[in-house]
Structure 1
Amino acid sequence: MEKLLGVVLCGGQSRRMGSDKGLLIKDAKPWAVHTADKLKDLALQVVVSINETQQEAYQKIFPNTPLIVDHLPIDGPLDGLLSIHRNFPEKDILLMACDLIDMSSDTIKTLISSYRENPSFEYYVYQEEGFTQPFCAIYTGNALNKVYKTFEENELKKYSLHDRFESGHTMYLPVEDAKSFKNYNS
C-alpha cells in the first residue's frame, strides 16, 4: 500500500454547481475533507489537487495535508493528475473527485483489492454500461510516465481520462453500488 497515493481532486471550475464543490459543507465538514477522510481511513497517504485560486481556502481546511497546484497547460482533470504525478512519480494514484461524498468504503476497497491482486494493468476503473468512472480509479505511475512523456513530446492529442483507459491496459470493474458514484452538479 505504500506505493498507492490517495488524491482528492478539487481543481475543477465547478461551473455547473456555481461554487467550489470541495468547500461545500455536509455534517459540519467540507466535501473535500469527507473524501480525504475516506482515503485516510484506508491507511492511504493523501494529497489534495487544487488550482492556484484555491490555495488560501484549502490551506485552511487541510493545514497538514500536501496541496499540489495544477501547473500544466492542459485543460481538465488530466492537469491535476499529471501535476500530482510529477511530484510523486514513483507512486500509483487512487484518484477521487471531491464530490464523491456518497462513495462507500467497500467500493474503494474492491478497487484497491483488484489493483493488488492484478498488478499487470495500467489503470483500474469502474464501468457501467460502457461508461467509465474516472474519478474513483487507480492510475499507475508507469502509465502516467508514458502519458507525461507523450505530453512533453507534444504528441498528446486527447486529454480526457477516458482516452487514457481506451489507449492503455485497463482493468474494468463492474459498478456494484451506483449510489457511490452520485454526481453533484447543482
Structure 2
Amino acid sequence: MDDTAMEMVGVVLCGGRSVRMGTDKGLLPIGDKTWAQHVYERLGVVVPSVVLSVNAQQADSYRAVLPYAECVVDNDQLPIGGPLHGLLSVHLRHPSANLLVLACDMVAMQEILLQYLVKCFVDKPCPALVYEYDGYPQPLCGLYSRLALATVTGWAVTEGLANHSMMHMLDLVEATRLPHGTDYDDCFSNYNHPDNL
C-alpha cells in the first residue's frame, strides 16, 4: 500500500445532541481545556492532522474554542443521521484519508491504544478496525479506511441506508475487532449523563 493510501486524519466526533447530558459534551471542562480540546490533542499525538466533526448549530461555538482547528460541519446532502453523518461528512471533505475516530466524550482514552490501533491498521489494512470492549465493538474509537467510507457513502447517497447506526456500518463493511488488555478498560468509559461525571 502506498503512502497516499496510508494518509490519516483524526476525527473528534462532537456532533451529538447531548440530550442526556443537558449541555454540549465537547465543551465541558477537563482541567483548563474542554473535552473536545483534550481529545483533539490526544489524536494529534498519533496522526498529523485532526478535524472536529460538528453539526451546523455547534460550528460557531467550536470555532471560538478551537480557532486553529478545522471544523467539518455535517453535510446536509447526506440523507442520514447520527455519528455516521459526521463520519461520512469528514470523508467527503478528506476523501483520500483513512479516518481515526474518537468521540469527544471518550476523554479517558490513552495514546498507547490509539497508536496500537494505527499500527495494526498499517500492518494489516482492513475496511475498518475497532476495539472490542465487554464483548461489543466500539465504533466511536476506530479506524475507517477511505475505501470503506467511499462505499458506505455511495450506498447512503444512491440507495439510502435504512439503519444509520455505526454498529450497522461495522457489519456492512465487515470490520475487524481488536482486543485490548484489561488494564485499559477505563479507556472505554464515555459520559452521557451528569451522574457519570
Q: Is 2:158 the partner of 1:153?
A: yes
Structure 2 equivalent of residue 102 of structure 1: 108
Structure 2 counterpart SS, 1:38: helix
Query: Which whole-Å CA distance do the structure 1 matches of 2:61 and 2:48 have between them?
Result: 23
Query: How is 1:59-138 mapped onto 2 (pairs within 5 angstroms)?
Result: 59-71=63-75, 72-119=78-125, 121-138=126-143
Structure 2 equivalent of residue 50 of structure 1: 54
Deviation of the 1:141 alpha carbon? 0.6
Deviation of the 1:175 alpha carbon? 3.1
Query: How is 1:138-149 mapped onto 2 (pairs within 5 angstroms)?
Result: 138-149=143-154
User: Residues 103-146 of structure 1: CA distance to partner in whole angstroms, max 9, x if unpaired?
Assistant: 01111111111101101x10000113431111110111100111
4+ long deviations beyond 4 Å:
none
Q: Provide the aligned C-alpha RMSD in A.
A: 1.3
Q: TM-score w.r.t. structure 1 length? A: 0.95
The answer for unaligned runs of 5 or more in structure 1 is none
One-letter code of the match for 1:35? V
From 34, 37, 42, the equivalent of 1:33 is 37
Query: Which whole-Å CA distance do the structure 2 matches of 1:43 and 1:96 have between them?
Result: 12
User: Cα–Cα, structure 1 residues 43 and 77, in superposed 2: closer, same or farther, change >3 Å?
Assistant: closer
Same amino acid, percent of matched pairs: 36
Deviation of the 1:62 alpha carbon? 1.3
Larger deviation: 29-38 or 53-62? 53-62
Q: Is 2:30 the partner of 1:23?
A: no
Aligned length, in residue pairs:
185
Deviation of the 1:180 alpha carbon? 0.5
Query: Which whole-Å CA distance do the structure 2 matches of 1:69 and 1:82 have between them?
Result: 11
Structure 1 counterpart SS, 2:16: coil
Structure 2 counterpart SS, 1:37: helix
Larger deviation: 99-108 or 155-164? 155-164
Q: Is 2:192 the partner of 1:170?
A: no
Deviation of the 1:159 alpha carbon? 1.1
Structure 1 counterpart SS, 2:190: coil
Query: Which whole-Å CA distance do the structure 2 matches of 1:73 and 1:111 have between them?
Result: 30
From 4, 26, 33, the equivalent of 2:8 is 4
Query: Which whole-Å CA distance do the structure 2 matches of 1:173 and 1:14 have between them?
Result: 28
Query: Which whole-Å CA distance do the structure 2 matches of 1:32 and 1:21 have between them?
Result: 8
The answer for unaligned runs of 5 or more in structure 2 is none
Query: Which whole-Å CA distance do the structure 2 matches of 1:73 and 1:134 have between them?
Result: 20
From 186, 189, 192, the equivalent of 1:182 is 189
Deviation of the 1:55 alpha carbon? 1.4
One-letter code of the match for 2:35? W
